[in-house]
Amino acid sequence: NAGVTQTPKFRILKIGQSMTLQCTQDMNHNYMYWYRQDPGMGLKLIYYSVGAGITDKGEVPNGYNVSRSTTEDFPLRLELAAPSQTSVYFCASSDSGEGVGELFFGEGSRLTVL
């Protein structure tokens, strides 16, 4: 199993550009999450999904959009990139279990907006 795979690993965007961060998991997990982490800070939840076709906002959803058309994929769309969106983005997935079970994280996508 590859686990949770994120692409790209690094990206530089100009202000106002748009892009999609890809996230794929091969563990057949129902639950998927997008977090961002600014330098020296903890992780903040952007969006999450409890299954295909169902998404919900987290703490910091403004400037982002998500979709969940399949169990495996949970892409994060950045519209009109701003310098404040410079961050490391982590995708995670989990299965049902005690509490939220164990979250499996990807390696992260490092985004710089100039």
Partner 1 sequence: DAKTTQPPSMDCAEGRAANLPCNHSTISGNEYVYWYRQIHSQGPQYIIHGLKNNETNEMASLIITEDRKSSTLILPHATLRDTAVYYCIAGANQAGTALIFGKGTTLSVSS
Binding residues for partner 1, rule: CB under 8 A, are: 4, 30-31, 33, 35, 41-45, 48, 50, 58-59, 88, 90, 92, 94-108
Q: What token pair was written down for 27?
A: 């563990």
Q: Can the peptide bond before residue 8 be classed as cis, meaning omega within 30 degrees of 0?
A: yes
Find the shortest distance in angstroms from Cβ 41 to partner 1.
Answer: 7
Residue closer to partner 1, measured from CB, 17 or 104: 104
Find the shortest distance in angstroms from Cβ 10 to partner 1.
Answer: 12
Q: Is the dihedral of CA 21, 25, 28, 33 positive or negative?
A: negative
Residue closer to partner 1, measured from CB, 58 or 63: 58
Q: What token pair was written down for 91?
A: 């995708």
CA nearest neighbour of 71 among 102, 103, 93, 89: 93
Residue closer to partner 1, measured from CB, 26 or 59: 59
Residue closer to partner 1, measured from CB, 17 or 22: 22
Which residues have C-beta within 8 Å of that of residue 2, sequence separation ≥ 6? Answer: 26
